[in-house]
Amino acid sequence: MNTITLSWGDRPIVLETEGNRTFLRLGAAQRIEVTEASLDQLDQLAEVAADLADYQRDRHRAADVADQVAAEDGHRFVGVPFQRGPVAA
């Protein structure tokens, strides 16, 4: 399995159409053709995107709590807590 890292910041996420083909554009350089995607696949994509948004919200809330606790203790905490997963050998 290949892992692709996507980081598009505030660049748009939109649908594009070229002729009879439809693409999901992710930022300036990434796009995925969805012309032949089934409704089930598109529903799964929407569910995964919603789960990812929930995960990121939780991470941001955790970072905000850490910042607040550090500020109350007179320390400044900068960054988002990060937990490394298993690494392939």
- What value does the mean pLDDT take over residues 27-47? 91
Residue 47 lies in a domain: yes
Domain region containing 34? 13-72
Q: Is residue 89 part of a domain?
A: no
46 domain residue, yes or no: yes
Q: Is residue 23 part of a domain?
A: yes
In a domain, 4, yes or no: no
Domain membership of residue 3 (yes or no) is: no
Q: Is the pLDDT assigned to residue 78 strictly greater than 60?
A: no
Strand order in the sheet with 13-18: 13-18, 21-26, 30-33
55's enclosing H/E stretch is helix 39-72
Residue 34 lies in a domain: yes
Give the separation between CA 86 and CA 83, rounded to whole angstroms.
10
Split into its structural domains, the chain has a count of 1
Q: Is 6 among the domain residues?
A: no
5 φ, ψ to 5°?
Answer: -95, 125
- 64: its two tokens: 């905000």
Q: Which residues pair with 31 in a beta bridge?
A: 25
* 59 against 47, higher pLDDT: 47
pTM over 0.85: no
**Residue 69 pLDDT:** 65
Between 40 and 88, residue with greater pLDDT: 40
